[in-house]
Amino acid sequence: MSPLRFGTAGIRGPIGDGPDDMNVDVVVRTTAGLAAWLRERCLGGGVVVVGHDARHGSAEFAKAATEVLAGAGFSVTALPRPLPTPVTAFAVRALDAVAGVQITASHNPATDNGYKVYLSGGAQLIAPADREIEQFIDRVPALEMLPRAVVEPVGDDLTQRYIDRVASLPHGSLRGLRIALTALHGVGGDTAVAALRAAGFTDIHTVASQFDPDPDFPTVPFPNPEEPGATDAVLSLAADVKADLAIALDPDADRCALGVPTDDGWRMLRGDETGPLLGDHVLSRAKPDSLVASSVVSSRLLAKVAAARGARHAETLTGFKWLVRAGDGLVYAYEEAIGHCVDPNVVRDKDGISAAVLAADLTAGLKAQGRSLLDVLDDYAVAFGLHAGDQVSRRVHDLTEIEATMTQLRSWPPESLAGEAVTMTDLLDRRGQSRTDAVIFETEHSRIVIRPSGTEPKLKCYLEVVEPVSDHTDLPRARAAAEQRLVELREFCSEL
């Protein structure tokens, strides 16, 4: 059996016995390796924050981690109860901690759990730290030889400080907004409602059947707001209560999806629609020449919006460990998978709760003008072209299938897509932190980015088409033309 290895920010896998599953022994060994790595860097005795969600095993895993860290001589701040991942990220930075650990598997199925690591400064770990820590993990002695010490959890002060900070983010004073919200059986419900109310948004309706933490996720087998059916309950509630905005958090509340009313009923916005909206809202109050960032698989719309606002834009590899390190002056970062960092000086990771509060602020201001988020997206389409996107994922049982497909794409790339000539960019040809296992196929009006998933056994295809728009009356034609291009791109991806 191969032990779990660090992937995106830590380890993640099914709960079970043995080194290839998530269990107490794996958590103890991983924590001992992390402690040894920190000590080698003369960080022994420093503060380490430990938090956890409400998944199966999370409380036990967090207790084991705190005891090992305390036994190794660190000053451990154990958060008091299951809390959102952004609270842990906030606490690491607020306490100037040398590291942080959050026990969570985010939006994975109920069978999984994970161990997420933040380093000094509150950002996720990156190479070479991940490989170096693994080397220390491999050298951990017999687990029964490790010293351990009991740690008493702290009170609610850090959580309240986080809520107060989030409540200070809105730009305007308009609060006439009705919100429907779901926590998807995760830990974000209480904190999100508290933050919204502290910010002045009090007309909040929650999906009762999904509000309290439940590690079995009984109503959503895949507790990810992007999964088909996952947001049905909150959209139904939004329609019933005549809400202005629907908000869906993933189970650890580091991701946020928005739902909006349309002439044909409610629908969820894609991450690539929410991203430019929130980015533009942040830039409206940011200093000149501020920086916004998005990942290589995200829409190119944010870059165009930023340029029009006199701001800078950076494109990074997928993942917030790269996005929050995009450069000086960063005020906002997002990736298409409904992750948004709206306050990078305080929480250097994606944060669904602060994104929800800022989205409410934006929506309330537009409502007072008789406008909506969809109206702003229409304005973007006229100004920058209609950006339409989609994602096609292929789940596999044998990871060699993904490797074989990537090899085939590099060896025999398509000559045309949607009737246009293709240019290929292989991100394995790049150097340093911009190098990754992905290929980009671009045409005059279309783009496909194809890469293996970093957290699941999937091959992922990210599609985007850009259709020029002459004016608002031209939008129906542009949408039809863009959809036809997307149909052809989906067909290509489905045949991989």
Three-state SS sequence of the chain:
CCCCCCCCCEEEEEECCCCCCECHHHHHHHHHHHHHHHHHCCCCCCEEEEEECCCCCHHHHHHHHHHHHHHCCCEEEECCCCCCHHHHHHHHHHCCCCEEEEECCCCCCCCEEEEEEEECCCCECCCCHHHHHHHHHHCCCCHHHCCCCCCCCCCCHHHHHHHHHHHCCCCCCCCCCCEEEECCCCCCHHHHHHHHHHCCCCCEEECHHHHCCCCCCCCCCCCCCCCCCCCHHHHHHHHHHCCCEEEEECCCCCCEEEEEEECCEEEECCHHHHHHHHHHHHHCCCCCCCEEEEECCCCCHHHHHHHHCCCEEEEECCCHHHHCCCCCCEEEEEECCCEEECCCCCCCCCCHHHHHHHHHHHHHHHHHCCCCHHHHHHHHHHHHCEEEEEEEEEECCCCHHHHHHHHHHHHCCCCEECCEECEEEEHHHCCHHHCCCCEEEECCCEEEEEEECCCCCEEEEEEEEEECCCCHHHHHHHHHHHHHHHHHHHHHHHCC
Query: Residue 279: phi, psi to the nearest 5?
Result: -60, -45
179-182/245-249 β-pairing:
parallel
Q: In this structure, are residues 467 and 482 in contact, taking their beta carbons and an 8 Å threshold?
A: yes
**Distance in angstroms (rounded) separating the CA atoms of residues 357 and 355:** 6
Token pair 């293709």 is found at 422
**Which residues have CB under 8 Å from 472's CB, separation 6+?**
378, 382
Kindly list the catalytic residues.
106
**Distance in angstroms (rounded) separating the CA atoms of residues 216 and 223:** 10
Using CB atoms within 10 A of its CB, is residue 292 exposed (0-12), middle (13-18) or buried (19+)?
buried
Among positive and negative, which fits the CA dihedral 78, 95, 344, 167? positive
How far is the CA of 175 from the CAs of 193, 202, 235, 458, in angstroms? 14, 8, 21, 42
